[in-house]
Structure 1
Amino acid sequence: MDRQPTLETERLLIRPMAQDDREALFAVASDPMVWEQHPIHDRWRREVFDRFFDECLASGGGLAVIRKDTGRVVGASRYDVYDPEEGGVVEIGWTYLERACWGKGINTEMKRAMLAHALSQVAVVEFRVGDTNYRSRNALEAIGAERTRSYEVDRYQGKRVVHLVYEITRESFASGPLA
């Protein structure tokens, strides 16, 4: 599966993330409110963001999100773990957008394009979200993702971190709210 496609929607250009995107993405990520519900809630700090950005580049699936009307980078997302077995599964996650994009349908537009691309090649897309990240959980449920399971990951700053797994199948996408 091509995990770094270039996708275009009415308002967005979604393209492979590059080292040159670091400063523009830090400008988005440096807003503490972007991370307030996230288990790793301090990605607004430079040193934490830089590690996160480097991991995203190294993953081979990082995508920068650009508003076509301004040409500005307004956020990022990524395709991560890909398993070709049993029809294929890929994970979409690590999404963050500047607050000016919140409530404007930008996330939905981006996810529709990313899902259409992925589900043309795999049977299932998974999303993993912190159990206290209600903003992301609500956004996933609004696009038709169904919660399937939960698991505990390593602790962060001494606190237990639980992730919920949501999924959208090729069939549920075709008949769901993003169809």
Structure 2
Amino acid sequence: MSPASFDSQPTLAGDSVLLRPLRRDDLVGLQEAARNPDTWAGHPVKDRFKPEVFEPYFDFLLASHSTLAVIDRASGHLIGCSRYYVPPDHPDGIAIGFTFLDIRYWGGNTNLMLKRLMLGHAFATFDAVWFHIDPTNIRSQKATAKFGARHIYDADLDLSGKVARWMCFRLARSEWELRFGQAG
């Protein structure tokens, strides 16, 4: 199957999180989840906690038609988002990125559950998933390595309208299945 026929906005449910397509009316809830400056310390745009910086980012995510809102199932609150995209250096592949979570959900299993749901969906179609991480984002590098993705190379890529340097991580379906089993 090609990236064009892949469902990049599924609804996916796990024990603690629900992922569903991002909607226009999610702006206020997502801004609330993004308001702590520490959330963006490892990201390329460090002042994204400011509404005037976050709103264009939200518009970009919404326009992609491939962003999933992350909902805490216990509280019903919007706690972040993530998206699928076609990697510019692998046009027949799929990548997961543009992920952020409310800082109150760091350090637990929320990111792992989010990625397990997204990876399970992607691996039903693709043999590998790519992740592009800013070289200064040590937290994301460690989190991505935790679930088995490997740093393959660095590249200058345009992921959001501007060329930047990215660390390119790859996770093969076979490695994922060895680590987490068939269901992911």
TM-score by length of 2: 0.87
2:123 match: 119
2:143 match: 139
1:73 match: 78
Deviation at 1:41, TM superposition (A): 1.1
Is residue 5 of structure 1 aligned with residue 5 of structure 2? no
Could you list the per-position Cα deviations for residues 34-65 of structure 1 after superposition, in whole angstroms to 9, with x for gaps in the alignment? 00011111111212211111111111101100
What secondary structure, in the 3-state scheme, does the structure 2 residue paired with 1:89 have? coil
2:3 match: none
Deviation at 1:161, TM superposition (A): 4.5
Q: Which of 39, 49, 72 is residue 44 of structure 2 equivalent to?
A: 39
Deviation at 1:162, TM superposition (A): 2.3
Is residue 95 of structure 1 aligned with residue 109 of structure 2? no
Bigger share in strand: 1
C-alpha separation between the residues in 2 aligned to 1:177 and 1:165? 22
Q: Which of 113, 121, 125 is residue 109 of structure 1 equivalent to?
A: 113
Could you list the per-position Cα deviations for residues 63-86 of structure 1 after superposition, in whole angstroms to 9, with x for gaps in the alignment? 100011111101111111169x89
Is residue 168 of structure 1 aligned with residue 171 of structure 2? yes
C-alpha separation between the residues in 1 aligned to 2:60 and 2:94? 17
Contact 1:34 1:97 in 2 (8 A): yes
Contact 1:77 1:96 in 2 (8 A): yes
Between the aligned residues of both structures, percent identity stands at: 35
Contact 2:87 2:130 in 1 (8 A): no
Distance 1:165 1:82, change over 3 A: closer
Structure 1, unpaired ranges of 5+: 155-159
Contact 1:124 1:167 in 2 (8 A): yes
What secondary structure, in the 3-state scheme, does the structure 1 residue paired with 2:86 have? strand
Deviation at 1:153, TM superposition (A): 4.9
Contact 1:149 1:166 in 2 (8 A): yes
Deviation at 1:142, TM superposition (A): 0.4
Contact 2:87 2:93 in 1 (8 A): yes
C-alpha separation between the residues in 1 aligned to 2:86 and 2:134? 17
Task: State the superposition RMSD in angstroms.
Answer: 2.0
C-alpha separation between the residues in 2 aligned to 1:133 and 1:177? 25
